[in-house]
Amino acid sequence: PGSGAVGSGSSSASAPQGARASASAHPARWHVPSGAPRQSGVTTQPGTHAHWIGLDLARDAMKDDLRRALVVVDDTASRFVAGSTPLPDVAHELAFDAGGVAIAVGLGPRVFTLRGMRAKAPSWLAPIPTMPIDRFEKPWDQTDLVIQIDAANPVGVSHAATQLFSALKGIATPRWQQRGFHAGARPSDAGVTRNLFGQLDGQEQPNVDGNEADRVWNAATTAAPWMEGVTGMVIRRIRMDVDVWQTLDRASQENAIGRRLTNGAPLTGASPHDPIDLEKTDELGLSVINPAAHVPRARPAKTGERILRRPYNYEDARADGTSDRGLIFVAFCADVAAQFVPIQRRLAEADLLNTWTTPIGSGVYLLPSAPRPGRYLGQNIVEA
């Protein structure tokens, strides 16, 4: 919806290949003996259930406090990913099979300002500029750390979150937690899942295993060799007015999106991968795809703006018996300022879906590279 979260924008000819690459079934790994040192939870196949924990270090925290947090997370997460459980865990039966869970950990902007830190944050590690459609609510805002856990087993996901939460007691304080879900993708939907508006979400993805890997992954630089294998993570919490959306007829819903609900094809085509023709008009001379529909607004203005989407639905009970429903929109890109922010600005300026969606939370994080054996997550940053 209003954050660039729903639907797809690009009509690149390589999109089908990219979509498959973004959901590749690579087993989750934590310690990387060789190859690209990249965290899991970015290009691994998204599990049907996910859990995010946003945590803060103490206000007067120093570099050593960050080190402690990362060492603890590294030990706990690496055990889960390997198919075992942390040493204090008495519920070993809830462990995943090796590769059955993906865990990703991100650092917020403040950790680079802690006393003793020498590594300098990249310029893109900063909050998304406030947009006129934003209605942020506590506590869904930026935190010092974020942990993302996803798998097919919701009990296992909950157990991993509990163990990570317990391991970090006295080191980092949770500010918010959020569960997400999707139903998986039907074969007829070409591996793409649907959001609570019934829309195929994330049809167009960069080819992260091929010629568009640099849209997601950073390379080392002379000033910051630790940037190798780093990616930027944006997490937006978007409330969706599902009850009102369901009162619209199907044509109105498709007009707001710019794609067909049946198979995700653009309104100017019949197949999901048909080109988006913004010049096509109907018998009255009107644009077939409304210029303010979500698809043309979310469409990257240039190839470098393509981002990797990893969205999940959420539903939380309110005290009055109603539900707060929406989207946890997670996106990965090499440069948040150059790739994500321009798309977000266009959506904030004019997107028909803004009528039924409201961004209520936002955060930007840097995901360190996966650690090599014998090293902990983020060691190359903390000890730079």
> pLDDT tens, position by position, for the chain (384 residues)?
544 434 333 333 333 334 434 445 567 788 898 888 999 899 998 999 999 999 999 999 999 999 999 999 999 999 999 888 887 888 888 878 877 899 999 999 999 999 999 999 999 999 999 999 999 999 999 999 999 999 999 999 999 999 999 999 999 999 999 999 998 877 667 778 999 999 999 888 999 988 999 999 999 999 999 999 999 999 999 999 999 999 999 999 999 999 999 999 999 999 998 999 999 999 999 999 999 999 999 998 888 899 999 999 999 999 999 999 999 999 999 999 999 999 999 999 999 999 999 999 999 999 999 999 999 999 999 999
What does the CA dihedral 68, 69, 70, 74 come to, rounded to 10 degrees? Answer: 100
Selected catalytic residue, list 89, 144, 201, 335: 201
201 classed as catalytic: yes
- Render 143-192 in DSSP notation, one character per residue: -SEEEEEEES-HHHHHHHHHHHHHHTTTT-EEEEEEEEE-----GGGTT-
Exposure string (b/e) for 176-191, b if CB count within 10 Å is 16 or more?
bebbbbbeebeeebbb
pTM of the full predicted structure? 0.92
